[in-house]
Amino acid sequence: MKGHIRERSPGHWAIVLDHHDPITGRRKRRWHSFKGTKREAQIECAKLISEQQSGGAIDPNKIALGQFLDRFETDWIATHVSPHSRERYGYVLNHVRQHLGDKPLQKLRPTDLATFYAALAREGLAPRTIRLIHTVLHRALGQAKIWGVIRDNPADLAKPPKMPDQETSMLQPDQASALLERLRGNPLYLLVSLALGTGMRRNEMLGLRWQDVDLDAGRLTIEQALEETRARGIRVKGPKTKHGRRTISLPAHLVTELRQHWREQQKHRLGMGLGKAPDSASVFATADGGHLSPNALSKALPRIMAAIGMPGVTLHSLRHTHASMLIASGMDILTISRRLGHSSPTITLSVYGHLIAGTDDRAAQIMEAAFGSKMVAGSDGKP
């Protein structure tokens, strides 16, 4: 096994490996792309030669898609995504392995992916699920391109099914008020009230600690969230994005409700011999002071909502209701975006832009005030 490097352009190198086929005796040449200094390219060349001689390397011309996805899971997913997302990636990639796992990676074409997506649709998978599969597969094949295993990403040209137009579910103000009245006295009342009053996400509310709540100032700060996976159970993590770490002003009724909840929680803990709750205690906790299960909450909520005659209401729809009520009040989109913890106001507009009404009428009024009287004054009376 021999190898050498060739400079393609400044900082970009071709690593050429020469070897003889043990069966035919013919010389074969394998090319790898590398970006870096000449010294780094030489080190990489030596590394590839060592891997080939020890049998540890896989010939990219022979690797199947399923084999590459195994490597993608161990070398990329394991270090780049959260445990919860890893479970979703694993579910998605299993679909790919079942249909395309034996397909040689180098021979994968956009037509193969189109056939794959059509097969998933025939199996009854929802368009949203198929699009998720496409997104993850596109990322995996993109990494294959970065690693020099393939030249082009076939998922760039493959299109998953179009998502059906679907408006975001939300409650009208009178429905939201009715929901709270029907839930009064239920253990989930405060959680639902907080979701409506702040727009917080489920895992942000379950990760809220008393030290994050300043009732005198009427504010709370979101510093962490919970995450639950089958492999690791419940764990604490940072907010969904860096913009998720934020401070939210509380309406007066929520301050009153949180004070009452704190008193009841202290009374309960003392009755169980647990002592006064420390500042690090969860606002929403189990009887023994532990974290509430996000998954258990999501399973229990539909039953409770059906029991009070409001089926279909989810914690996420309460977040949407909060946003829609702020938009209806005329609040600017930047403030709403920051309150929701979106990474950009663009995301807020893409989700809620259809709710912003009346601004076009206002635009016409502004133009009329600027030009209307002058046009009338200079008119000759003809239509």
Tokens for 73, please give them. Answer: 């899971």
Whether the per-residue pLDDT at 84 is higher than 50: the answer is yes
Least confident of 21-25, 123-127, 185-189, 226-230: 21-25
The domain in which residue 94 lies consists of 65-156
Banded pLDDT at 33 (limits 50, 70, 90): confident
Give dist(CA 145, CA 140) in Å, integer. 9
Does 348 lie in the same domain as 253? yes
Give dist(CA 278, CA 211) in Å, integer. 9
Whether the per-residue pLDDT at 167 is higher than 60: the answer is no
Query: 34, 54, 74 — which closes off a domain?
Result: 54
Residue 284 lies in a domain: yes
Whether the per-residue pLDDT at 329 is higher than 90: the answer is no
pLDDT reported for residue 22: 45
Tokens for 254, please give them. Answer: 């929520």
Q: What is the CATH number of the domain that holds 326?
A: 1.10.443.10
Does 305 lie in the same domain as 276? yes
Does 18 lie in the same domain as 145? no
Does 223 lie in the same domain as 293? yes
Does 197 lie in the same domain as 336? yes
Residue 360 lies in a domain: no
Whether the per-residue pLDDT at 88 is higher than 90: the answer is no
Residue 257 lies in a domain: yes
Share of the chain above pLDDT 90, in %: 45
Whether the per-residue pLDDT at 372 is higher than 70: the answer is no
DSSP secondary-structure letter at 357?
-
- Interacting residues of 101 by C-beta distance below 8 A, sequence separation 6+: 64, 65, 66, 69
User: How large is the average pLDDT for residues 182-201?
Assistant: 94
Residue 166 lies in a domain: no
Does 249 lie in the same domain as 217? yes
Q: What is the CATH number of the domain that holds 98?
A: 1.10.150.130
The chain-wide mean pLDDT, for the chain, equals 85
Whether the per-residue pLDDT at 344 is higher than 90: the answer is no
Q: Give the residue among 149, 170, 189 at the shortest CA–CA distance from 352.
A: 170
CA 349 from chain centre, in angstroms, equals: 17
Does 289 lie in the same domain as 181? yes
Q: Give the residue among 301, 322, 316 at the shortest CA–CA distance from 197.
A: 322
Residue 380 lies in a domain: no
Give dist(CA 130, CA 142) in Å, integer. 18
CA 134 from chain centre, in angstroms, equals: 15
In the chain, the number of structural domains is 3
Does 233 lie in the same domain as 206? yes
pLDDT reported for residue 147: 85
Sheet containing 246-249: which strands, arranged edge to edge?
A: 213-214, 219-222, 246-249
pLDDT per residue as tens digits for the range 138-155:
999 999 988 888 888 999
Tokens for 327, please give them. Answer: 């938009």
Does 183 lie in the same domain as 92? no
pLDDT per residue as tens digits for the range 47-83:
887 766 654 444 555 789 999 999 999 889 988 887 7
Share of the chain above pLDDT 70, in %: 86
Does 98 lie in the same domain as 27? no
Does 203 lie in the same domain as 340? yes
Does 140 lie in the same domain as 38? no
Give dist(CA 75, CA 58) in Å, integer. 14
Least confident of 310-314, 352-356, 367-371: 352-356
Q: Which residues are 233's β-sheet partners? A: 229
Whether the per-residue pLDDT at 383 is higher than 50: the answer is no
Of 167 and 325, more confident: 325
pLDDT reported for residue 55: 46
